[in-house]
A and B are shown apart, each in its own frame.
Chain A
């Protein structure tokens, strides 16, 4: 994101920033949807601003899930061993387009990464 794409102090999502997020999210939107989504995003952002007012100790740890797992409760990692699915065709049949045993996608144009 460039500076011009950033919202002002994170308070409001501007239309250019919104359009940039939509592009990153790979979503085609109608103009009506875009207007609704931008409005609701900014409403939600105002609700989130309440977090900024909470005094937080620098040392306060983050919580990524609520329940601390005791080591004896953890299932542990499975062995890194491939297990063939009984019927791969069942999986392939879910795909919108396949050819032989491959998923088919349209052209992937060459792009140079900046």
Chain B
């Protein structure tokens, strides 16, 4: 039996029922990592195409010894008749933006390359308490600033397992890549503008951004504090439900973590879609972006194959009894990116001021005469260009002279985006939707090096995902087909606040009804090379 293709749910069941040991499962996944991952990302390392182009490069830090040690303890507890938790013996990885005690927690940045976290982030702690086995920390865009994983200071960077010359997406790109390549069934990621859903779509896996506040942010290295959401990466919807069940819930260490009771997501999962109202919006079938030089806005439809995949998913759900509501207006979708350019930069700049070369992290190795020089040189040498860009933009748009024009205006536009969703999910309103079904991304995974450097075009990769972050609502991306290049296409389900259970249920119905479609039998390039 190839454990690497099994879901977390199935692995946990096998381990609980003594059919396989946690130790055996862990060893199989460590072997898979050795087969497909290649050398881990390292600071200052230069990519060597002839060697590195054949591997996934998801990991920065492998915690193999610790995983094997914990696996042995899980086996002992099961042998003693104890219940070691819902994820007992299930391997998982963590995006290297979460603190994991006694483990390098780098944010993919030179400035935190030597930082060893003194405590666990709450979602990590909950995964470990549920018996999950941490295999290691995986790469990301530096401080999560990117949509392709190309900005990490740790190279070689992650590649898309479906086609190794494509980006895995970002910023949770390595989380999605390692799950797609069978290196782990689960990964913990974060989503600030689409950073779980976009890479999930690019890598053909399931990525969920829960409602803001559903999962604690304690121990998460902050980017945009009003937008950041820890969430799940898995290969199917049942695993997403299982993992969310473990990590969700209030936390006295995060004042924004909601105390609202956590639903039993697994109990809701198989209830089908009969009678549910699912909307389609023309505003999610086109994108609007500015020309790089002139600034003129051009509107263009998303890739035809992607729209067709969304419509096909709608037909499948309709055949299962859902009611499909067409032409749902979401007029403020197009403003999501410009507003994000302002809000996220202001929050990022604020969060990045703490890195000063004094208390932890990188300090310049050169001699300095006074404190301000220490700050300038440590930050200048420690940050890559993406954090620098966000600091400068954040300071500019929040300066007293421009704050009204940019920052307050962006916060008002955020209100309009939120109202779009409130209107369509209002149970007494005109649309009364249970979910909105959309494409996750305007294109499939783009080639490495094609967009990186153009920070405006890169940001527009998130145009269909960022509205959910502004509004705080939950969203799930799940695979729904392949395009003519053999690359995965993701569809997105968006719902009202705290409607994760309903979204998981709709996604589950869709994955069951399309389980036998021919594209489901196609495997990522990296697994074809392995003969899997």
Contact = CB atoms under 8 A, between A and B. Distances in A.
Interface residues of B, number: 86
A96 B391 contact: no
A28 B376 contact: yes
Interface string A53-77: 0101000111111110110111101
A6 B267 CA distance: 58
A76 B379 CA distance: 35
Contact of A105 (B349, B358, B396, B455): B358
Given A47-B338, A74-B259, A22 B392 contact: yes
Contact of B373 (A21, A61, A63, A106): A106
Given A13-B396, A37-B389, A44-B455, A106 B341 contact: no
Interface string B318-340: 00000000000000001101110
B414 A96 contact: no
A33 B388 contact: yes
Contact of A41 (B254, B396, B411): B396
A82 interface: no
Contacts of A113: none
A106 B388 contact: no
A100 B256 CA distance: 37
Interface string B244-268: 0000001110111111100000000
A45 B252 CA distance: 39
B118 A52 contact: no
Interface residues of A, number: 61
A71 B414 CA distance: 22
B316 interface: no
B371 interface: yes
A114 interface: no
A46 B388 contact: no
B408 interface: yes
A46 B295 contact: yes
A77 to B, nearest CB: 7
Contact of A65 (B226, B257, B405): B226
Interface string A69-95: 110111101100000010100110011
Given A56-B412, A73-B213, 18 more contacts: A27-B379, A27-B391, A28-B381, A29-B380, A29-B388, A36-B385, A40-B389, A41-B396, A44-B393, A45-B393, A47-B295, A50-B338, A51-B406, A51-B413, A62-B411, A66-B473, A69-B213, A94-B118
Closest 4 pairs between A and B when the two form their complex, measured CB to CB: A66-B472, A28-B380, A96-B363, A62-B411
11 contacts: A21-B395, A27-B380, A48-B338, A49-B295, A51-B409, A56-B412, A62-B412, A65-B472, A67-B213, A67-B473, A75-B259
